[in-house]
Homo-oligomer: A and B are copies of this chain.
Amino acid sequence: MRTAQDPLSRTFFALADPTRRAVLTRLAHGAATVKELSAPFRMSGPAVSKHLRVLERAGLIQRGRAAQWRPRTLEATPLREAAAFADEFRRFWEPNYAPLDGLLEVER
């Protein structure tokens, strides 16, 4: 992975790891400290820290601060473009899918 990729590549790259996806899913339920985010995993603290940095570079999380804690929060907007890309292919896996304008044409 040559770094300094375009934003969409960074987003998909960040999603290409189960640990990082689990972190995002956890954060969907609310902010969490690094300790809390690390809890489900067997890896060291620094390893989790690196995963968080990848998510941060992709703009998928933000870092807060409260005393000695640095709670992370979800920042989901980059996922919009990711979802949009995948959605372009929806008709291939969903045979009965018709894009919006086609649908309107039928219903009017």
Chief secondary structure at chain A's binding surface: helix
Residue numbers in B under 8 Å from A107 (CB-CB): none
Interface membership of A101, Cβ < 8 A? no
Q: In the complex the two chains form, what is the Cα distance from A25 to B16 in whole Å?
A: 20
Q: In the complex the two chains form, what is the Cα distance from A31 to B43 in whole Å?
A: 43
Categorize the interface residue count of chain A: 20 to 34
Interface membership of A6, Cβ < 8 A? yes
Interface membership of A12, Cβ < 8 A? yes
Q: Which residues of A contact B (CB under 8 A)?
A: 1, 5-6, 8-10, 12-13, 15-18, 21, 24-25, 28, 74, 76-77, 79-80, 82-83, 85-90, 92-94
